[in-house]
């Protein structure tokens, strides 16, 4: 058999793409993921560039311009103090995203650590940590955040801490459940029998295999953290004036719904679109990162491509 004939008989192997590249490709093929990604990109860009692209000072009052309807000069109108609503919505995006991101970061770090310890060591460690999480989780989220703020005081910084504490049990439960299903896998037992330490096993074998549900929960928790910040600011416990916040703007605009509807409608629309985009992205991520759904999506993509 010639060399050419032998080459023809060898199985053709396509280059294997990294998992994260494959995930991005599947997300790019989902119209819902693309739409939510575009919305979130616009919100993040508005938050980062608010100081440069705002047409007016978001906190400077102007009595002569108070309660003006949307126009070419003031795209979203003005509030009762003459402040430009469009500029305040842009500035509020920075506040809402910052509070949401930091709060979720706190709950993510604390919850994942607690879930890893509880799921890996089990026994009394599991009992103590998860009973504490059960106590925190037993309280309604908003009421728990208000209770924490009653102790720490008002302000956006304390709101981050309060929201982070409230959502820690969710990450702890999800991480623990995933660790329980992974800790007895063959590769974990092999690493343990080879003499690997607990820290090495958790860092190299357990944590990488439980990240999928954590990523999905992060996206969903960002949506709820933004809603929680808006609710706390609405009741006066979150961001304090004159700093703009979407929740604070809703609270200020509720008394002017009949004569200045734009004061509440535009910040409300910003909250709605941002939270919806995070939730939709979380739903798509859940499908993409689930092994069965992932295989079905890849099969559909191959079928349509063929």
Contact 287, 297 (CB under 8 A): yes
pTM: 0.82
Is the pLDDT reported for residue 63 higher than 60?
yes
Residue with tokens 């991480």: 175
297/136 Cα distance (integer angstroms): 38
The region of weakest confidence among 158-162, 166-170, 274-278, 287-291 is 287-291
Contacts 24+ apart (CB under 8 A), 143-152: 145/228, 145/232, 146/232, 146/235, 146/237, 149/232, 149/237
Average pLDDT, stretch 281-291?
Answer: 79
The answer to whether the Cα torsion of 54, 60, 64, 69 is positive or negative is positive
Domain 31-51+75-298, CATH among 3.50.50.60, 3.90.79.10, 3.40.50.180, 1.10.3720.10? 1.10.3720.10
Is the pLDDT reported for residue 123 higher than 90?
no
Q: How confident is the model at residue 306 (pLDDT cuts 50, 70, 90)?
A: very low
Is the pLDDT reported for residue 54 higher than 90?
no
> What pLDDT, on a 0 to 100 scale, did the predictor assign at position 302?
56
Structure tokens at 131: 């009973």
132/47 Cα distance (integer angstroms): 36
> What pLDDT, on a 0 to 100 scale, did the predictor assign at position 102?
93
Model confidence pLDDT, tens digit, residues 78-91? 888 889 999 999 99
Average pLDDT, stretch 48-69?
Answer: 85
Model confidence pLDDT, tens digit, residues 235-248? 888 888 888 889 88
Is the pLDDT reported for residue 113 higher than 90?
yes
Count, in order, helices (H) and strands (E) of the chain: 13, 0
Domain spans, the chain = 31-51+75-298
> What pLDDT, on a 0 to 100 scale, did the predictor assign at position 119?
87
Residues 6+ apart with CB under 8 A from 212: 289, 290
Which DSSP helix (H) or strand (E) runs through 4? Answer: helix 3-9
Is the pLDDT reported for residue 205 higher than 90?
no
Average pLDDT, stretch 283-297?
Answer: 71
Contacts 24+ apart (CB under 8 A), 300-305: 301/26, 301/29
Average pLDDT, stretch 259-272?
Answer: 91
Q: How far is CA 145 from CA 43, 131, 168, 254, in A?
A: 25, 19, 12, 23
- Across all residues in the chain, what is the average pLDDT? 83
> What pLDDT, on a 0 to 100 scale, did the predictor assign at position 297?
59
Longest dimension (CA), the chain: 92
Contact 287, 293 (CB under 8 A): yes
72 against 293, higher pLDDT = 72
> What pLDDT, on a 0 to 100 scale, did the predictor assign at position 202?
82
Q: How far is CA 137 from CA 101, 159, 257, in A?
A: 20, 18, 36
């Amino acid at each position: 058999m010639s060399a050419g004939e032998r080459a023809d008989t060898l199985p053709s192997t396509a280059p294997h793409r990294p998992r994260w590249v494959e995930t991005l490709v599947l997300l790019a093929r989902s119209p819902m993921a693309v739409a939510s990604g575009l919305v979130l990109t616009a919100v993040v860009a508005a938050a980062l560039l608010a100081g440069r692209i705002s047409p007016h000072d978001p906190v400077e009052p102007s009595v002569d311009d108070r309660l003006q309807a949307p126009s070419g000069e003031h795209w979203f109108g003005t509030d009762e103090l003459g402040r430009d609503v469009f500029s305040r919505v842009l500035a509020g995006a920075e506040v809402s995203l910052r509070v949401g991101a930091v709060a979720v970061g706190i709950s993510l770090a604390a919850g994942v650590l607690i879930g890893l310890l509880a799921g890996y060591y089990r026994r009394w460690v599991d009992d103590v940590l998860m009973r504490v999480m059960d106590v925190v989780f037993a309280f309604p989220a908003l009421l728990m955040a208000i209770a924490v703020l009653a102790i720490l005081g008002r302000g956006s910084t304390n709101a981050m801490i309060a929201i982070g504490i409230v959502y820690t049990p969710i990450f702890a439960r999800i991480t623990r459940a995933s660790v329980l299903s992974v800790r007895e896998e063959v590769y974990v037992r092999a690493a343990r029998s080879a003499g690997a330490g607990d820290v090495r096993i958790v860092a190299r074998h357990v944590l990488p295999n439980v990240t999928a549900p954590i990523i999905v929960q992060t996206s969903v928790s960002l949506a709820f953290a933004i809603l929680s910040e808006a609710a706390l600011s609405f009741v006066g416990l979150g961001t304090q004036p004159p700093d703009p916040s979407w929740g604070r703007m809703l609270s200020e605009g509720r008394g002017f719904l009949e004569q200045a509807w734009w004061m509440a409608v535009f910040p409300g629309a910003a909250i709605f679109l941002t939270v919806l985009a995070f939730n939709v992205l979380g739903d798509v991520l859940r499908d993409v990162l689930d092994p069965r759904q992932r295989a079905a999506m890849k099969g559909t993509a191959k079928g349509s491509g063929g």
